[in-house]
Homo-oligomer: A and B are copies of this chain.
Amino acid sequence: MNLLDLPPRRSLGRVHVPAVTLAHGGGGKAMKDLIDDVFVSAFCNAKAPDVLEDQARLDLAALARYGDRLAFTTDSFVVDPLFFPGGDIGKLAVCGTINDLAVGGAKPLYLSCAVVIEEGMPLDALRGIANSMAEAARMAGVRIVTGDTKVVQRGACDKLFITTTGIGVIPPQIDLGIHQIKPGDGILVNGLLGDHGAAILAARGDLALETEVASDCAALHGLIEALLRAAPGTRCIRDATRGGLATVLNEMAEASALSIEIDESATPLREEVRGFCEILGLDPLYLANEGKVVIAVPPAEIEAALAAMRAHPLGAGAALIGHASGGIPARVTMQTVFGGKRIVDMLIGEQLPRIC
């Protein structure tokens, strides 16, 4: 059955666009055809034709060669729009879950992929997103080994949601934890902040603002591996996604019962993002990132950590932005460029919805 011939077709002007129908979610032949056409063809290759099953089976002895603990993490992606400068929901869903594994020191190995599709979703767009997932997984050396497909009627979801769940393995010597930060530790980031948030806001097009900023969406496990080799005493790593840098710093301060002070002039921000935020009244410290991590490193390893990150393509803009200290517990402050100090609070409300 050729899915390009599937009724009903959606009319966009004079062009008919083959689209997903409720039949594709029914559990029968149409669903099998959709899964084969879109997902199996993207995720499986000749070398591993049998990987996409209802239930993936992974050899435990092979996993144990990488380390002693399994890392297990999940994320739903509901980003709007589905396509944006620098990526799409598929790339985001793969990189995001890889990063959630990597920040715990795990080597990312396997992903599952569950999709909820709105009836009427054009098949070409769905294929593009599946291919984007496959490409991101291939580049990162992870495999998408199992999945699920649901279709809901028009209006019951907004186009497409993707949930990826990741499995990785943590080597025995690694024990990262947000509560392990000590006074004097350096707080590092691997580059410019806020690009993802700015790119999504601009891509929505409802702000009458144009920016050239692309999402920083990237898989960071290679960078993190290099960092941990150079700075094995690293206390913890967090990805600064929803809620941005400010949220991660507050979580670090709270978990360690320490004070964290950062220096505005040392915090890497693109000029366009700074301007963009000024116009919209947003605080760039809360803008989401999809390729940035915040790292706490003991004083003796700060230089080594910076050098290792700067030698990696995804850490060229790495910077020491501040320090932890024994000041007021759980308080985050920023030395501003104007010479003052301000408190950087936990985000109370909601800055930008559906950013990831």
Contact = CB atoms under 8 A, between A and B. Distances in A.
Interface of A: 21-32, 54-61, 63-64, 67-78, 80, 100-101, 103-104, 106, 110, 112-116, 145-148, 150-153, 155-158, 161, 163, 165, 167, 169-170, 241-244, 247, 286, 288, 346-354
Contacts of A21: 350
Given A55-B101, A74-B147, A147-B74, A349 B152 contact: no
Copies of this chain, how many? Answer: 2
Contacts of A72: 55-58, 110, 112, 145-146, 167
A26 B242 contact: yes
Contact of A74 (B25, B104, B146, B347): B146
B74 A114 contact: yes
A25 B57 contact: no
A350 B28 contact: yes
A140 B312 CA distance: 46
A27 B247 contact: yes
Looking at chain A's contact residues, the main secondary structure is: mixed
B68 A350 contact: no
A22 B76 contact: no
Nearest to A163: B163
Contact of A30 (B63, B75, B350): B350
A70 B350 CA distance: 39
Nearest to A354: B152
A155 B354 CA distance: 13
A60 B169 contact: yes
A58 to B, nearest CB: 4
A346 to B, nearest CB: 5
Given A57-B104, A63-B60, A68-B59, A28 B115 contact: no
B346 A76 contact: no
A112 B161 contact: no
Contacts of A148: 74-76, 163
Contacts of A67: 60
A292 B30 CA distance: 23
Nearest to A97: B148
Contacts of A75: 114, 148
Contacts of A349: 23, 26, 28, 30
A106 B353 contact: no
A23 B350 CA distance: 4
